[in-house]
Amino acid sequence: MSQKETDALRRAGRDTGHSEFAERLVRALGEGMRALEALPRDDEFWRSWANDRATPLKLDAFATERLALDPTDRTARWALVALALARGANDGGMALLGPEIATDPAVVADALAIADWVGQEIGLDLVPDLRAACARADPDALKALARTEQGAAARTALRILRTPAPLPGGPC
């Protein structure tokens, strides 16, 4: 695993108040790297690279390919989210969470953490991205999740969905 990405995740997690989330991302990054390292070296994937050393750049390509083949691949999905946040991507990997929103209270909370993280680290407002990710969820499932004791994040997500989006070109 790349120390650079691990250090970036832990630092940003600490700085934004999301240390536990950062540690889960570090584990996700490690799981992704282990999956890449376990890929047989005669696999087609390795033919497009100069060597067969597992690196974050190769993990990005590998995880993207895996997620395209299997949209339910959690290892690939979370490795990509971890890479996005470690590298300071503008969307923090938010779009990758869409399929899992409302299936797990932790994922809704993670989406809120990503929006807060990116807002603090980069200064970008991810409410439109959060709204788009939550809009992909089954609204009944999101509402049911909001009614549970662990549903605080889902309740926040529903408030975001009810808030009208600003018009394009309108005041910021």
Are 158 and 143 in contact by the 8 Å Cβ rule? The answer is yes
* Average pLDDT score over residue span 146-154: 86
User: Hey, what amino acid is at 132?
Assistant: A
pLDDT averaged over every residue in the chain: 88
Taking only the tens place, the pLDDT of each residue in 20-33 is: 999 999 999 999 99
* Average pLDDT score over residue span 116-132: 88
* Average pLDDT score over residue span 125-148: 84
pTM: 0.85
pLDDT score recorded for residue 165: 66
Which of 114, 125, 127 is closest to 77 using CA atoms?
114
What count of other Cβ atoms lies within 10 Å of the Cβ of residue 128?
A: 14
pLDDT score recorded for residue 151: 83
Which pLDDT band holds residue 89 (cuts at 50, 70, 90)? confident
Select the more confidently predicted residue: 137 or 47.
47
Which of 62, 64, 60 is closest to 44 using CA atoms?
62
First to last CA, the chain: 40
Taking only the tens place, the pLDDT of each residue in 37-82 is: 999 999 999 998 999 999 999 999 999 999 999 999 999 999 999 9
129-110-132 Cα angle (round to 5): 20
